[in-house]
């Protein structure tokens, strides 16, 4: 067993002061990407830019909220092994506030995204049963006023929970109060239901309502299963590369990476399970309002991408991550994590883009790249700003030494 790691030693290695080297380029690329996307939107590519921005927004926000859920879950479970990794998750969760101004940009595009939005040019295609649903059965939920109210609730819950947990954790770095750990463990179980419900309904509002008649009670689980997987991938990549001076990666053990690899494997399987369950429920029910959503994606020009997702999002990473040796090699595991992050983006493209192109099939537009870089750059830059001059792990957590001595059972 390795000797205990003292607070003094942790203070020497954990203070992060190199943020500007990455923060400034991240913000710069983010602003340029966002401006390019807005330029595309206001110069004629309204539909493409709006849907590309929605994909990017759902991708990066989902990861931030997934980090928040992970922090709350691990506090609830009183898990000790990942305490050395917790500050990265807290920083990612705290980045949720930057999505408030980014969401205002999305609000500028709502009429080009949602056929139920008043004045939407997409409403011209709504006839018959769909028009009946929107004007009577769904109007109480799908209307701008209630939409705005729900968004305020979502972001208020996320921002408050992220701030509360992170502020206690940062305060403990200075004071070492044991009571702060107790507060986090008491607060997290009560916060979890609100976090789960808000991300579920947010996915309904932003993604599922692109096709108003499409309904799935487990769509929210599908969305945050992919986001959870992406969050673990980012945590793996950050940890594998945080090996320089003053970075927490230098004290992380291979046993921690082994666990991260197992979590990536578990959520790869969980995503596939939820994806198949959702498809099976719609196929068995065969309801006219719901079946066309899958019909568009499994027949015609979208079929190759649907089949590719099965192999590239499940089969390939699943069998790759079965390897124990891979999970004990941080650099190789990080490469797999990068691959999964790319496939997660394709998955969101598969969810959103058919609402734009329909039977035309998969297409590419340059705003897909600029929007992804724009939202991603700003959110990553904000996370780095949050990390600046902070300890990169909770140095005075009462269980930090136990986490650093963690051995795979």
Q: List, for residues 166-202, the tens digit of each pLDDT value.
A: 999 999 999 999 999 999 999 999 999 999 999 999 9
| pLDDT on residue 122 | 79
| pLDDT on residue 129 | 63
- 196, 246, 212, 174: which is closest to 355 by C-alpha? 212
CA angle 102-53-366, nearest 5°?
135
Kindly tell me the burial class for residue 125, based on how many C-beta atoms sit within 10 Å of its own C-beta (0-12, 13-18, 19 or more).
exposed
| pLDDT on residue 1 | 35
> What angle do the packed helices 367-387 and 86-94 form, to 10 degrees?
120
Structure tokens at 116: 């139920």
Mean pLDDT, the chain, integer: 91
Contact 230, 337 (CB under 8 A): no
Percent of the chain with pLDDT over 90: 76
Structure tokens at 133: 């649903």
pLDDT tens digit sequence for 94-126:
999 999 999 999 999 999 999 888 888 877 666
| pLDDT on residue 6 | 45
pLDDT band at 2 (very low <50, low <70, confident <90, very high): very low
pLDDT band at 208 (very low <50, low <70, confident <90, very high): very high
Q: What is d(CA 193, CA 231) in angstroms, rounded to the nearest whole number?
A: 19
Q: What is d(CA 395, CA 15) in angstroms, rounded to the nearest whole number?
A: 10
Residue carrying structure tokens 């108003």: 212
Contact 23, 381 (CB under 8 A): yes
Contact 326, 336 (CB under 8 A): yes
Query: What is the rounded average pLDDT of the residues 235-256?
Result: 88
Q: What is d(CA 326, CA 258) in angstroms, rounded to the nearest whole number?
A: 9
pLDDT band at 409 (very low <50, low <70, confident <90, very high): confident
Q: What is d(CA 371, CA 57) in angstroms, rounded to the nearest whole number?
A: 8
Query: What is the rounded average pLDDT of the residues 141-152?
Result: 94
| pLDDT on residue 9 | 54
Residue 391 DSSP SS3: strand
DSSP tally for the chain: helices H, then strands E: 18, 0
Task: Kindly tell me if the per-residue pLDDT of 293 is higher than 80.
Answer: yes
Query: What is the rounded average pLDDT of the residues 312-325?
Result: 97
Task: Kindly tell me if the per-residue pLDDT of 245 is higher than 80.
Answer: no
pLDDT band at 247 (very low <50, low <70, confident <90, very high): confident
pLDDT tens digit sequence for 357-381:
988 999 999 999 999 999 999 999 9
| Residue 101 CB neighbour total at 10 angstroms | 9
Structure tokens at 84: 């050395």
CA atoms within 13 A on the CB side of 206: 27
Residue carrying structure tokens 């790869």: 268
Could you give the dihedral angle defined by the CA atoms of residues 377, 381, 384 and 388, in that order, rounded to the nearest 10 degrees? 160
């Amino acid at each position: 067993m390795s000797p205990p790691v003292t607070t003094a030693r942790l203070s020497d290695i954990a203070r992060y002061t190199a943020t500007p080297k990455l923060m400034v380029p991240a913000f710069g690329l983010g602003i340029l990407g966002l401006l390019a996307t807005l330029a595309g939107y206001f110069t004629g590519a309204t539909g493409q830019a709006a849907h590309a921005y929605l994909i990017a927004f759902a991708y990066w926000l989902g990861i931030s909220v997934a980090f928040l859920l992970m922090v709350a879950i691990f506090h609830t479970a009183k898990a000790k092994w990942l305490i050395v990794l917790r500050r990265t998750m807290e920083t990612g969760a705290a980045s949720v506030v930057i999505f408030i101004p980014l969401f205002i940009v999305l609000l500028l595009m709502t009429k080009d995204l949602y056929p139920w939005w008043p004045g939407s040019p997409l409403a011209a295609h709504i006839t018959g049963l769909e028009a009946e649903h929107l004007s009577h059965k769904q109007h109480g939920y799908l209307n701008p006023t209630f939409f705005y109210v729900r968004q305020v609730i979502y972001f208020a819950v996320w921002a408050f929970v992220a701030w509360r947990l992170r502020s206690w954790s940062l305060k403990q770095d200075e004071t070492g109060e044991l009571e702060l750990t107790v507060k986090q463990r008491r607060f997290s179980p009560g916060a979890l239901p609100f976090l789960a419900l808000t991300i579920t309904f947010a996915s309904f509002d932003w993604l599922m309502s692109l096709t108003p008649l499409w309904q799935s009670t487990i769509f929210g689980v599908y969305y945050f299963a992919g986001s959870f997987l992406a969050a673990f991938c980012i945590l793996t990549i950050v940890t594998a590369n945080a090996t320089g001076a003053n970075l927490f990666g230098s004290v992380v053990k291979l046993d921690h990476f082994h666990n991260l690899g197992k979590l990536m494997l578990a959520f790869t399987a969980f995503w596939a399970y939820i994806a198949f369950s959702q498809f099976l429920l719609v196929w068995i029910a065969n309801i006219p309002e719901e079946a066309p959503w899958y019909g568009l994606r499994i027949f015609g020009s979208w079929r190759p991408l649907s089949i590719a997702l099965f192999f590239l999002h499940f089969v390939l990473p699943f069998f790759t991550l079965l390897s124990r040796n891979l999970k004990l090699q941080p650099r190789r595991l990080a490469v797999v994590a990068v691959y999964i992050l790319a496939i997660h983006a394709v998955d969101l493209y598969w969810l959103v883009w058919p609402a734009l192109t329909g039977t035309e099939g998969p297409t590419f537009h340059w705003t897909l790249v600029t929007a992804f870089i724009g939202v991603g750059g700003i959110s990553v830059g904000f996370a780095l700003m949050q990390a600046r001059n902070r300890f990169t792990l909770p140095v005075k957590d009462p269980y930090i030494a136990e986490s650093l001595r963690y051995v795979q059972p």
